Amino acid sequence: MKSVHLIAVCGTAMGALACMLKDAGYQVTGSDKNVYPPMSRFLEEKGVTVMAGFDGDHLSHRPDLVVIGNAVSRDNAEVLATMDMELCYCSMPQAVNRFAAAGKRQLLVAGTHGKTTTSAMLAWMLFSAGRDPSFIIGGILPNFTSNYRSGEGDCIVIEADEYDTAFFDKGPKFLHYTPHAAILTSVEFDHADIYRDLDHVRDAFGRFIGQIPASALLVSVDDDRNVLDLVGRAVCRRQTYGLEQTSQWRLGEIIIEPPQTRFQVQKNGALFGWFSTRMIGVHNLKNTLATIAVADDLGLSPDDIAKALEGFSGVRRRQEIRGEKRGIVVMDDFAHHPTAVRETLAAVKHYFHNNRVVAVFEPRTNSSMRKVFQKDYAGVFDPADRICIRKPSMLQKVPEGQRFSSQQLVADLIKRGKDASHFDDTEGIIDDLVRTSMPGDIILIMSNGGFDNIHERLLNSL
């Protein structure tokens, strides 16, 4: 096989797979309806030919394999051409298994929250310890300036997504992998466009847990009721992590010394070591604890782990400081689920306790644009001193009776005594922030999308 074509190549994971295939020596082409920087530029720099839009003619060279992304429907022009030409095709996780993970120990990170940061930390720990890992992760790692790596070592770190696989395979992506070790950070209702309710989500994670081999290790959080209910299905080795006295891996004393946080780790009740990180918040310390458990099982020493954590630069769009103007800090974060918003705000406010925290939120995911979380969002912004809520920009995609109301959220926040405002567009938010922000403010912008490039535009306006 010499040539591979990827339909919807500009997705984070699909783009990473395209680059891995190119690194392996294949001729790689791809197409997408949204071809724009930075992913388009990233792919072009790697030598991947990217074509705008979907057209059957993009497959006129008859590639040996077509990889079909999960954002693609069966009536897509290139899918129809693939079928008409009787070309071989597969899903993204099937291709990862065949071309990136074959012969390697798969280290999976699953859960509703924290997957990207936890995967990134584990990958960096292995690299720092000289283990030369491969990885495919849903965010850019500043330590590598990439979201993928094709290493020569025997491990691959995979962010194991519960989203569906493809139009011809509606099961979760993570069911395609066979872990040597797996981390489970949390299980909550999300992805309302594909999951009916929490029980539907629990069923997916239950299947994932149930298929982990007996020889593998499952490291699971100790304070999530859904996780605790589900891990009983596991037939593999199990370890728990968190704050509970009964956990094998437990956070001890925590000392915040900006820009570092020092923390103690206990293993089975005994001191394992003191560590230091630039990550903010107890939720990130728990993510770190999970990676330490897997790293220890893989044979890394406490000194290896400590060195790696001190050099870990985080993940782009996870509490990433984008700039500072007039003493005002603009921070970017991917938070969108109510739990993620709450934990992120609490962490930032605790760390910057002497500063005013201004929360700017864009509901943009298929779940957050639905009223399924309408009431939940009202209680998660309490740590913020001021709150700006944008009207969802793609609300027309949601049936009218199911739509989230940003106006109602603001009304509910005001009832809680919060200083909250609603905005129809991004320009209104920028104008307001330029007028009302003061030196010392931390402006935390939360969205899983580009948010109309609000970060750079705000910094320029300030």
pLDDT computed for residue 353 by the predictor: 85
Higher pLDDT, 287 or 317: 287
Same domain, 343 and 436: yes
pLDDT computed for residue 347 by the predictor: 82
Is 90 exceeded by the pLDDT of residue 100?
yes
Same domain, 347 and 451: yes
Q: Strand (E) positions, 8-151?
A: 27-32, 49-52, 65-68, 89-91, 105-110, 134-141, 146-149
Residue with tokens 């570092």: 260
- DSSP H helices in 85-132: 92-95, 115-128
Q: What is the mean pLDDT of residues 47-52?
A: 90
Is 80 exceeded by the pLDDT of residue 162?
yes
pLDDT computed for residue 381 by the predictor: 95
Instruction: Output the CA torsion sign for 441, 442, 447, 450.
Output: positive
Which H or E run includes 331? strand 328-333
Residue 362: CATH number of its domain: 3.90.190.20
pLDDT computed for residue 363 by the predictor: 86
User: Rounded to an integer, what distance in angstroms lies between the CA atom of residue 88 and that of residue 66?
Assistant: 6
3-state secondary structure of 462: coil
Higher pLDDT, 444 or 366: 444
Residue 279: CATH number of its domain: 3.40.1190.10
DSSP state of 278: S
Bridge partners (DSSP) of residue 420 are: 387
Same domain, 164 and 306: yes
Is 90 exceeded by the pLDDT of residue 279?
no
Q: Answer yes or no: are the C-beta atoms of 105 and 156 closer than 8 Å.
A: yes
Q: Quick one: how far is CA 400 from the chain centroid? A: 29
Distances (CA, A) of 187 to 137, 176, 342: 19, 19, 16
Same domain, 149 and 286: yes
User: Rounded to an integer, what distance in angstroms lies between the CA atom of residue 198 and that of residue 337?
Assistant: 14
Same domain, 90 and 116: no
- Which of 362, 346, 272, 275 lies closest to 311, judged by CA? 275
Q: Answer yes or no: are the C-beta atoms of 401 and 357 closer than 8 Å.
A: no
pLDDT computed for residue 38 by the predictor: 67
pLDDT computed for residue 36 by the predictor: 64
Residue 53: CATH number of its domain: 3.40.50.720
Q: What is the pLDDT of residues 63-89, one digit of tens each?
A: 999 999 998 999 999 999 999 999 999
- Which of 232, 11, 6, 204 lies closest to 111, judged by CA? 204
Is 70 exceeded by the pLDDT of residue 344?
yes
How sure is the predictor about 201, in pLDDT bands with cuts at 50, 70 and 90? very high
45: containing domain: 3-95
Is 80 exceeded by the pLDDT of residue 37?
no
Same domain, 121 and 250: yes
Q: What is the mean pLDDT of residues 370-391?
A: 90
User: Rounded to an integer, what distance in angstroms lies between the CA atom of residue 105 and that of residue 392?
Assistant: 41
Residues 6+ apart with CB under 8 A from 453: none
Same domain, 35 and 82: yes
Q: What is the mean pLDDT of residues 17-35?
A: 92
Residue with tokens 């107890």: 282
Domain boundary among 278, 311, 344: 311
Q: Answer yes or no: are the C-beta atoms of 84 and 23 closer than 8 Å.
A: no
Same domain, 251 and 339: no
Q: What is the mean pLDDT of residues 216-239?
A: 95
Q: Answer yes or no: are the C-beta atoms of 100 and 42 closer than 8 Å.
A: no
Same domain, 339 and 409: yes
Q: Answer yes or no: are the C-beta atoms of 16 and 39 closer than 8 Å.
A: no
Domain boundary among 284, 311, 338: 311
Same domain, 61 and 122: no
How sure is the predictor about 305, in pLDDT bands with cuts at 50, 70 and 90? very high
Distances (CA, A) of 225 to 142, 294, 354, 363: 34, 22, 34, 26
Is 80 exceeded by the pLDDT of residue 288?
yes
Q: How many domains is the chain partitioned into structurally?
A: 3
User: Rounded to an integer, what distance in angstroms lies between the CA atom of residue 458 and that of residue 16?
Assistant: 30
Residues 6+ apart with CB under 8 A from 41: none
Same domain, 301 and 324: no
Span of 193-207, 354-368, 425-439 with lowest mean pLDDT:
354-368
Q: What is the mean pLDDT of residues 410-432?
A: 92
Is 90 exceeded by the pLDDT of residue 364?
no
Same domain, 118 and 46: no
Percentage of the chain beyond pLDDT 90 is 69
Mean of pLDDT over the chain: 91
Bridge partners (DSSP) of residue 283 are: none
Domain boundary among 95, 111, 134: 95
How sure is the predictor about 418, in pLDDT bands with cuts at 50, 70 and 90? very high
3-state secondary structure of 199: helix
pLDDT computed for residue 60 by the predictor: 95
